Amino acid sequence: MEHVISAVTPGSIAQELEIETGDVLLSVNGQVPKDVFDYRYLMNEEEVQVLIRKANGEEWELEIEKEYEEDLGLEFANGLMDDYKSCRNRCIFCFIDQLPKGMRHTLYFKDDDSRLSFLQGNYLTLTNMSDADLDRIIYYKLSPINISFQATNPKLRCRMLNNRFAGDILEKAKRLKDAGILINGQIVLCKGINDGAELQRTIEDLRVCLPELQSVSVVPVGLTRYREGLYPLESFTKEDARQVLQCIHQWQDRFFETYGSHVVHAGDEWYILAGEPLPAAETYDGYLQLENGVGMVRLLEEEVKEALLGQTGDDRSLEVSIATGELAAPFLQVHAERIRKQYPNVQIRIYPIKNMFFGEQITVAGLLTGQDLIHQLKGKKLGNRLLLTCHMLKSGEPVFLDDVTVEEVENALQIKISIVESSGNDLVGKIIQTNTEL
């Protein structure tokens, strides 16, 4: 595979050397990088020799002196500089299997690539990895690594992943732990399958990975309306959620007493479903599992409070609206009232959007689509601007999961949309227009 350069960082070493988009990296120190980790490893020197092929076919051999681990400022057309490894499992809870037909093809790709775990935070089952792959993680010190455990009971894990090679997860995780690789874990909980006594067993078994095991999130399985022909899974009830939280809280107390860390954490959905208050900020041990919906609600509250401490308030008159998932809507309403205490003439309307595209059991904002926003906000009082979280969009692009663009939603609703980044400070700033694109 050729390593085609797709971008050169302005002001970088590469730009100074007149390396350009479309050039091809042939070798570093006489070696052809197999993938992005080879490339990074080879670049971790103060003197490197880089061979570049220009668009006209010329080959430039460049001798470069730089700081140790300093990057040249290159981006590649293939971010991994190698083929992506797809998942070999057929998990009973797989969200991709629950997608409707006709979506963009990249959404149907099931990755299980250790490099994406390190680069993007993706979670791995480790079933796609040989001993040599584990050796490579250890050799390159790819830490932390994110692992989807689901269960440590070998037979149960094989059944949940529909993979007869999935039962050795604990041995593989322990090998990484013994090599000093930090681990973040995930347990997708399925009712009547890996909850109850099996959840207790899994957490108990994972103790052998401490203290390198930094955190484990326990999240409920997401169920869409497109499950025809798939394994029959049920939604959790309020009482189920309370039992899950009771189990997690007991383990948190034990871990904190021994390690000074709570280690295992419940996704925000469990507290909301159970009708129980969210834990204090310090319980989240630095919010290591935000991408799994662990502590997002609490962190946003803390950030909104902090942002308002730096505001004196005034009589500015504004009218904005916020569309979000049903899960976050009540909490955003509280934040809106908090903001209005300092800015009484700022009118904020919160619109909880039902997820008709995936099904009403999906309540998070990050899985809302452009068409649901259009259909449910049409004719509503939206004020001067509509605020949406960045989690609704494809990374780096103004496109929703259904390929509807932000511009198309703006045109359909005749409203300017502001995208809120994941911080309470940006939320406050976008509402009171101290931080807006306008």
Confidence band for 306, pLDDT divided at 50, 70 and 90: very high
Give the C-alpha separation, 72 to 101, whole Å: 41
State the total domains in the chain: 3
pLDDT tens-digit map of 234-286: 999 999 999 999 999 999 999 999 999 999 999 999 999 999 999 999 999 99
Judgement on whether residues 104 and 235 belong to the same structural domain of the protein? yes
Judgement on whether residues 64 and 135 belong to the same structural domain of the protein? no
In this prediction, residue 128 carries a pLDDT of: 77
**Residues 281-296, mean pLDDT to the nearest whole number:** 93
Give the C-alpha separation, 345 to 343, whole Å: 6
Q: 83 in a domain, yes or no?
A: no
Give the C-alpha separation, 47 to 29, whole Å: 9
Q: 87 in a domain, yes or no?
A: no
pLDDT at 437 over 60: no
Query: What is the β-pairing status of strands 385-389 and 346-353?
Result: unpaired
Token pair recorded at residue 185: 């874990």
Query: What is the β-pairing status of strands 24-28 and 3-8?
Result: antiparallel
Query: What is the β-pairing status of strands 183-189 and 145-148?
Result: parallel
Q: Say if CB 396 and CB 426 are below 8 A apart.
A: no
Residue 47 phi, psi dihedral angles, 5° rounding: -130, 125
* Crossing angle of the two packed helices 131-140 and 169-178, in degrees rounded to 10: 30
Q: Which helix (H) or strand (E) holds 384?
A: none
Confidence band for 80, pLDDT divided at 50, 70 and 90: low
Judgement on whether residues 369 and 288 belong to the same structural domain of the protein? no
**Residues 118-135, mean pLDDT to the nearest whole number:** 76
Give the number of other CB atoms < 10 A from CB of residue 312: 6
**Residues 378-402, mean pLDDT to the nearest whole number:** 91
**Residues 39-43, mean pLDDT to the nearest whole number:** 81
Q: Which residue has the tokens 């203290």?
A: 211
Judgement on whether residues 131 and 267 belong to the same structural domain of the protein? yes
Range in 36-40, 177-181, 429-433 the model is least confident about: 36-40
What CATH number has the domain bearing residue 41?
A: 2.30.42.10
Give the C-alpha separation, 95 to 276, whole Å: 27
**Residues 177-188, mean pLDDT to the nearest whole number:** 95
Q: 313 in a domain, yes or no?
A: yes
In this prediction, residue 438 carries a pLDDT of: 44
In this prediction, residue 131 carries a pLDDT of: 87
Question: Which of 294, 320, 352 is at the close of a domain?
Answer: 294
Range in 3-7, 127-131, 230-234, 420-424 the model is least confident about: 127-131
Q: 81 in a domain, yes or no?
A: no
Q: Is 252 left (phi over 0), alpha (psi -120 to 50) or beta?
A: alpha
In this prediction, residue 71 carries a pLDDT of: 83
If you average pLDDT over every residue of the chain, what do you get? 89
In this prediction, residue 105 carries a pLDDT of: 66
Token pair recorded at residue 344: 């009484």
What CATH number has the domain bearing residue 412?
A: 3.40.50.1860
Give the number of other CB atoms < 10 A from CB of residue 79: 15
The radius of gyration of the chain from alpha carbons, rounded to an integer in Å, stands at: 24
In this prediction, residue 348 carries a pLDDT of: 96
Question: Which of 43, 76, 109 is at the close of a domain?
Answer: 76
pLDDT at 201 over 70: yes
> What percent of the chain has a predicted confidence (pLDDT) above 90?
68
pTM recorded for the entire structure: 0.81
pLDDT at 117 over 50: no
Judgement on whether residues 289 and 306 belong to the same structural domain of the protein? no
Judgement on whether residues 283 and 329 belong to the same structural domain of the protein? no
pLDDT at 413 over 60: yes
Judgement on whether residues 24 and 106 belong to the same structural domain of the protein? no
Judgement on whether residues 160 and 203 belong to the same structural domain of the protein? yes
DSSP structure string for 299-327: HHHHHHHHHHHT-------EEEEEEEETT
Q: 84 in a domain, yes or no?
A: no
Token pair recorded at residue 138: 């250890």
pLDDT at 402 over 70: yes
Q: For residue 393, what are the domain limits? A: 300-432
Pick the more confident residue, 371 or 46.
371
Give the C-alpha separation, 46 to 68, whole Å: 5
Judgement on whether residues 328 and 253 belong to the same structural domain of the protein? no
Judgement on whether residues 175 and 287 belong to the same structural domain of the protein? yes
**Residues 326-339, mean pLDDT to the nearest whole number:** 94
What CATH number has the domain bearing residue 245?
A: 3.80.30.10
**Residues 32-60, mean pLDDT to the nearest whole number:** 86
pLDDT at 119 over 60: no
Give the C-alpha separation, 360 to 358, whole Å: 7
pLDDT at 107 over 70: no
> 281-285: long-range contacts (C-beta < 8 A, 24 or more apart)?
283/252, 285/214, 285/215, 285/261
**Residues 355-382, mean pLDDT to the nearest whole number:** 94
**Residues 149-171, mean pLDDT to the nearest whole number:** 95
Judgement on whether residues 369 and 254 belong to the same structural domain of the protein? no
